[in-house]
Structure 1
Amino acid sequence: MVYYFTSNTVSPAAFIYVGKDKVENEELIKYGLDEDFHVDNLSSAHIYLRLDEEESWESIPKPLLEDCAQLTKANSIEGNKKDNITVIYTPWSNLKKDGSMATGQVGFKDQRKVKKIHVPQRENPIVNRLNKTKVEKFPDLRQEKENRQKELRRRDKAAQLARQKEEAKVAKERKEKAWHRDHAYDDLLSEDAVASSSNQDRDPDFLDDFM
């Protein structure tokens, strides 16, 4: 089971989700798509944020970041009881998992891609607002990931075909311009043009016109 929350601090609204337990967390780690939040040095649920394609994990709006941090704190047995905790977040792609780690435990491939947020205390208005949007679902995470990857491949292929079409169009236009440039004087050098400019077939008195 996965719990989904809606944050209306941004427009369009953002979706935040979390596994019901460490087993579900393991599935989210395996088939995740987006950002991961959890309490630094304390056990907590892994909170995920689904970003729009145009958004970067490094520029998440502050109100949305605070929603994620508060939800992370609220879903940590230890962290929820303490003040002045640190919540860390990183792209899902930066999560590292190996066989020596416990269920739900993760590491990071690159510490430079890990950011921190200081949370002074639990903000009940934020947590209560998010809990009112809470929805329980039983998603097929593997299928969702496969569908997402298939859609991205389709878009990449469409973009590649569009680029190739545009490149072919530009190449054709350049070729046509080059042909016109190279043959700009063809009409002047044609037999009729040469004949019309020759004095050979002109009337002997044609010079009288200039007198």
Structure 2
Amino acid sequence: MVYYFKARPEVGDFTIYMGLDKHENEDLIKYGFPEDIWFHVDKLSSAHVYLRLHKGQTMDNISAELLEDCAQLVKANSIQGNKINNLDIVYTPWSNLKKSSSMDVGQVGFHNPKLVRTVKVEKRVNEIVNRLNKTKVERTPDLKAEREVYNSQERAERKNQMRDKKRREELERVQKEREADVRSYKALMVSEKMTSNKDIAGKGKSLQEIEDDFM
């Protein structure tokens, strides 16, 4: 089971989600999207909460209001953390999560600690938590299938981008060849290199004589 929430409308159309338990969290860790940002109470047990950003966005695009929604949801879903004030919430891109065979179920590490950020929650704000809970939807998704669909769409998009790139490169090549031909033609047509009928006559030969010589 996965729980899905909607962030406050004024920050944009963003989905926040979390697993039912540590076993569900294993699949969330395994089949996350590159646009996902992972949240957790620092040094305490809590739900694994994810924010799904839009394509092209990074942690730097998370507004203070959106960050507050995510942090409050994490705090509210931590047995210990929900009782503590001035609580630290850590967050990092899904791609920075590291999972090894020696780790317990639901446990994760980080590939790069420098990509882990911290936000402090002074206290639980019931208004925020209640608003988020009113948007909660329970689903049992096939996370593996969703990721496979995502991967397929990414491959198709990269293929289209590569095709468009080759088309642009071919058009640029043709345009450069045309421009080179024009420059070459203009060079041949400069007045110093051209011979008029008057020039030919001035050399003592008539046009008929020139034609006879050519034949």
CA contact (8 A) 2:11 2:65 kept: no
1: CA distance, partners of 2:32 / 2:85: 29
Q: TM-score, normalised by structure 1?
A: 0.89
Structure 1 pair 185/111, CA: closer, same or farther in 2 (3 Å)? closer
2: CA distance, partners of 1:91 / 1:180: 53
2:111 to 109, 112, 120: 109
Structure 1 pair 148/10, CA: closer, same or farther in 2 (3 Å)? farther
Letter in 2 for 1:173: Q
CA contact (8 A) 2:11 2:63 kept: no
Pairwise CA distance, 1:127: 0.2
2:68 to 54, 63, 66: 66
Letter in 2 for 1:102: D
Match of 1:7 in 2: 7
1: CA distance, partners of 2:130 / 2:61: 25
CA offsets 1:79-112 (integer angstroms, 9 cap, x no match): 0111111000000000001111111010001000
Match of 1:125 in 2: 127
Pairwise CA distance, 1:12: 3.2
1: CA distance, partners of 2:52 / 2:83: 27
What root-mean-square deviation, in Å, do the aligned CA atoms of Structure 1 and Structure 2 show?
Answer: 1.8
Match of 1:26 in 2: 26
Letter in 1 for 2:31: Y
Q: Which moved more, 1:178-187 or 1:165-174?
A: 178-187
Structure 1 pair 20/196, CA: closer, same or farther in 2 (3 Å)? farther
Q: Which moved more, 1:104-113 or 1:153-162?
A: 153-162
2: CA distance, partners of 1:60 / 1:45: 20
SS at match of 2:106: coil
What are structure 2's unaligned runs of at least 5 residues?
208-215
Match of 2:97 in 1: 95
Pairwise CA distance, 1:66: 0.4
Q: Give runs of ≥4 in structure 1 deviating > 4 Å.
A: 185-189
2: CA distance, partners of 1:27 / 1:187: 72
Q: Which has the higher helix share?
A: 2
Match of 1:39 in 2: 41
Matched, 1:201 2:203: no
Tell me the percent identity. Answer: 46
Structure 1 pair 42/168, CA: closer, same or farther in 2 (3 Å)? same
Structure 1 pair 185/4, CA: closer, same or farther in 2 (3 Å)? same
SS at match of 2:200: coil
CA contact (8 A) 2:75 2:124 kept: yes
Letter in 1 for 2:13: A
1: CA distance, partners of 2:64 / 2:190: 71
2: CA distance, partners of 1:9 / 1:82: 28
